[in-house]
Structures are given as structure tokens and as C-alpha cells.
Structure 1
Amino acid sequence: MPKQSAHFLFADKTEIEDLGNGLKRQMLGYNEELMAVKVWFDKGAEGYVHKHRHSQVTYVEEGEFHFNIGGTIRVLKPGDSCLIPPNVEHGAVCPTGGILIDTFSPAREDFVSE
């Protein structure tokens, strides 16, 4: 993984990666210790249940999300956020379409290629 992103990233010049299944991702900045990512969900799109070693905080910018964290499901709306501890299974379904801002510590190495 490159050690860090550029200091300034501009939305109209930063790649938006199509992840398939109604999900897109754009890097907002990272170094080895911290990463922020913007994620678009089409209506009905699902972030599959998974787990990873990273701490994660997610902020709902737009839309409604049904978050499953460790088997507990809650509905989050714009302005809401959640904390996902390391190695806890989690996922989300977005019935409306929406946007999340995900932050990870340390950075997700699997999101960045050399």
C-alpha cells in the first residue's frame, strides 16, 4: 500500500471505483494509520456481512441504512453514525439509495493498490 494519499484530493479529479452490485467508492484520504472513504449505494444495494481487523466509524450522509453490527440491526438516517469494533461482523442494506462516509484505523490495505 502506498504510504499516503495526496494532501489535497478534489472530488472531480479523484477516481470513483465501481464495486459492482450497486456500490461505488471514492478515497477521501489515507495514510497507514487512518483512511476515509465515500461509498454510494444504489436503491436496494447491500454491503455484505463481513469483518476485518480495522476499527470503523461510519457516518450517514444521505439515505436510510439498515445496519447489522454483531447481529443487532438498527436503522440509520442522515446525520447518524455507528462504531464497528475490530473483528465484529457487520453489513448494511440501503433501501432508499444513499451515501456513507467510512473511516478506518488502521487504513484498509485492500482498498489501495501499489
Structure 2
Amino acid sequence: MATKVNVSSLPFVLASETPREDLGGGIARQILGYGPEIMIVRVWFEDGSVGDVHSHPHSQSTYVESGKFEVFIDGEKQVLGAGDCSYIAPDLDHGVKCLEAGVLIDTFSPVRKDFLGEG
């Protein structure tokens, strides 16, 4: 039986003290609060940048904090703006194109251990 790794952030995560990771192509991410079953990540997109189509075994809900994005999920496209949200079930192909520079808040379940360098 595999041992469950207990990964978690500190109880309080201050954005001003948390580093951003430059992912290239006009995209940067900041890992915020997380525990074994949930993770919140802020992602900045420059105008025209693209989050390539991909899939993963995590549930994902994304809130548009600012900007405008064309979101692709499982063969469907929708333009979303500030205040809008999307839900991506596990293993569905999805991606995003930034139409106006902005920020997405991604919530994953369970935690994205690959974002933490744990595979």
C-alpha cells in the first residue's frame, strides 16, 4: 500500500512574499495555498499568450480575475471575462488563449504535486 504524502502550504500565504514562476510565452504562475486535496494557483497571461491544450487527472475550476480568455474544454470554446468561471473534469483536454491580458485563479483537486516538483 502506498503511503500518502502530506503536502501543504503554510496556513497563511502572502502573495507579496510568494514568488512567481516564469513559465515562458507570456505566462507566469504563483502557487498559493494548498494541502493534499486542494491547490490554488494564480496565473498571469500577457495578451496573445496561449496555455496549450493538455489534460491531467485533477479536477480544475478556474475563475477569471481579470482580462479576457478564449477557453477550450473537451471540444467546446467559450470566451470568458472577469468574474466568469469554468470547470474541467479530470482527464478532459483543455487550454486557453488570452485575448486581453489578465489573471486566472486555478483551483485543483487533489494538489498538483507536479507543480511542487514532486512528480
Runs of 4+ in structure 1 displaced over 3 angstroms? none
Q: Kindly provide the amino acid, as one letter, of the partner of residue 65 in structure 1.
A: F
Tell me the TM-score normalised to structure 1 length. 0.96
Using the TM superposition, give the Cα deviation of residue 2 of structure 1 relative to its aligned residue in structure 2, in angstroms: 6.5
**Following the alignment from structure 1 to structure 2, what is the Cα–Cα distance between the partners of residues 28 and 109?**
13
Instruction: Please state if 1:8 is matched with 2:25.
Output: no
Match of 1:107 in 2: 111
Could you tell me the percent identity over the aligned residues? Answer: 50
What's the CA shift string for 1:39-62, capped at 9, x where partnerless? 000110000000000000000000
Tell me the TM-score normalised to structure 2 length. 0.92
Using the TM superposition, give the Cα deviation of residue 23 of structure 1 relative to its aligned residue in structure 2, in angstroms: 0.4
Instruction: Please state if 1:68 is matched with 2:68.
Output: no
Bigger radius of gyration: 2
- Extract unaligned runs of 5+ from structure 1: none
**Following the alignment from structure 2 to structure 1, what is the Cα–Cα distance between the partners of residues 113 and 13?**
19
Q: Once superposed, what is the RMSD of the aligned Cα atoms?
A: 1.2
Q: Kindly provide the amino acid, as one letter, of the partner of residue 45 in structure 2.
A: F
Quickly say closer, same or farther: Cα 1:2–1:97, change in 2 above 3 A: farther
Q: Kindly provide the amino acid, as one letter, of the partner of residue 82 in structure 1.
A: S
Please tell me whether the aligned partners of residues 2 and 113 of structure 1 are also in contact (alpha carbons under 8 angstroms).
Answer: no
- Extract unaligned runs of 5+ from structure 2: none
Match of 1:96 in 2: 100
Please tell me whether the aligned partners of residues 38 and 100 of structure 1 are also in contact (alpha carbons under 8 angstroms).
Answer: yes
**Following the alignment from structure 1 to structure 2, what is the Cα–Cα distance between the partners of residues 7 and 27?**
13
Aligned residues: 114
